[in-house]
Structure 1
C-alpha cells in the first residue's frame, strides 16, 4: 500500500497536479496527515533490531527445545525458574518461532508388517473407560479390541470386568464375529491371561481352540 501511495503522488507531481489529501486518505484508509508527510518526501527509517533478554540463552534454548519429548511450555518453565526476567510464556513462544529454534520433526516411516490370512489376531483391553450420560449418570466399563493382522479389521467387545473369563468370553465372541479361529494371538502382558514370570499364556487360553464349536477349516477364510 505504501508503494502505491508513493507512486500515485509521484504521478500527480510529474503532472504538476496538487494531490487531494482527503481523497487519497479515504482511498487508502489512512490519515491525510500521513499522505501529506509522504508527499513532502518522508521516508520511514528502518527500525533497529531490539535485543532480547533471551538472546544470551539462544543456543541453550535451541538445544533444550529439540530434545526428544520436549515442549515449549516445559522449556519455558525451565528457563523461567533460572531467570524470571525472561518475560511471559507468550514472549518465549514468539522468540522460539521468530528464530526458528524448533526443528521440524522428521516423520518416521513404519513399514507395515504383513501377515497371511487367518494367521494372526491382535487384542488388548481398553481399561476403565468412563462415560457420563446427559442425566449425569456415570458408566464405567472395559472394551476388548481385536484386530486381524491381514485386513486390519476391528471389533470392539464390551466387558464390565477384565478377568480371565471375560477375556476368553470376548475372544470367543470375536471369533464368531470373524467367522473363524486365528492361528496366533498377539497381546501385551495382561495379568489376567499371561503368566508374568514365564511371559506365557495361561493353559485355558492356549487350549481355547479346543473348546470352540467353530471348525478349524475356517482359519484360512478369515481375512
Structure 2
C-alpha cells in the first residue's frame, strides 16, 4: 500500500471532500478500484498478496535437492513437480521467478562439463550402415522394396545415401567405392 496515496486520501477525508479516484490512480500509477478500496477501508486496508505464500514454498526442500543434481535444469525440476503434484501448480514462469527470488542454483557444483568434439584428420574415418527393408509404393500401386547404404565421412561430415536392391558383398564394395568418389 502506498503511503502517499493514504496520506492524500486522509487529507481529502479531513476536508470532507470526496476525491477523484481516477485522477489519484493516474498520478500514483495504480488502479482506480484500489484507490477506492483504500478510501473505503482507510488505514485498515491491507494487501492480501503479501500474506499469501507461494505454491512452491512447501516444496522448497525438494526443489533445492533436485536442483543440486548435475545437469539438472529448471524445466526438468518443474516437470518433475508437475508430474508429482498434477495440475495444481502455477506455470513455469512463476516457477522460474520463485527460483530467482529464493536463490536456487541449478546444475550441481560445476554444471555440465563440455563434451569435446571428436575430430579426425582427412581421409582417416568413414562410418557406414544399412537401412534395410524400405518400401515405397508409387501412384499406380506398384511396391518397390530396397535397402539404403548410408555413409558419413568423419572429417567433412559429408553424407552419401545409395539405394540398392540387395545386400551382397559386391553391393557393399560398390557402395563403399561410390561413397568415396
**Normalised by the size of structure 2, how large is the TM-score?**
0.50
| Structure 1 contact 128–140 (Cα < 8 Å) conserved | yes
Question: C-alpha distance in 2, partners of 1:72/1:139?
Answer: 48
Question: C-alpha distance in 2, partners of 1:147/1:66?
Answer: 36
**SS of alignment partner, residue 51 of structure 2:** coil
Equivalent position of 1:44 in the other structure = 47
**SS of alignment partner, residue 88 of structure 1:** helix
Gaps of 5+ in 1: 81-85, 179-223
Question: C-alpha distance in 2, partners of 1:13/1:132?
Answer: 83
Question: C-alpha distance in 1, partners of 2:144/2:179?
Answer: 23
Question: C-alpha distance in 2, partners of 1:141/1:20?
Answer: 82
Alignment equivalent of 2:118, drawn from 112, 120, 123 = 112
The superposition leaves residues 127-177 of structure 1 with CA deviations (integer Å, 9 ceiling, x where unpaired) of 5567788999997754322222332222222235545444333223213xx
Q: Does 1:143 align with 2:148?
A: yes
Of structures 1 and 2, the one scoring higher in RCO (CA 8 A, sep 6+) is 1
Equivalent position of 2:162 in the other structure = 157
**SS of alignment partner, residue 155 of structure 2:** coil
Gaps of 5+ in 2: none
Q: Following TM superposition, by how much is the alpha carbon of 1:106 offset from its aligned partner in structure 2, in angstroms? A: 1.0
Alignment equivalent of 1:87, drawn from 76, 85, 88 = 85
The 5 A counterparts of 1:174-189 are: 174-175=179-180, 178=181
RMSD between aligned residues: 5.6
Q: Which moved more, 1:121-130 or 1:54-63?
A: 54-63
**SS of alignment partner, residue 89 of structure 2:** helix
Cα distance change on mapping 1:57 and 1:147 into 2, 3 Å: same
| Structure 2 contact 146–165 (Cα < 8 Å) conserved | yes
Question: C-alpha distance in 2, partners of 1:76/1:128?
Answer: 43
Q: Following TM superposition, by how much is the alpha carbon of 1:67 offset from its aligned partner in structure 2, in angstroms? A: 7.9
| Structure 1 contact 145–155 (Cα < 8 Å) conserved | yes
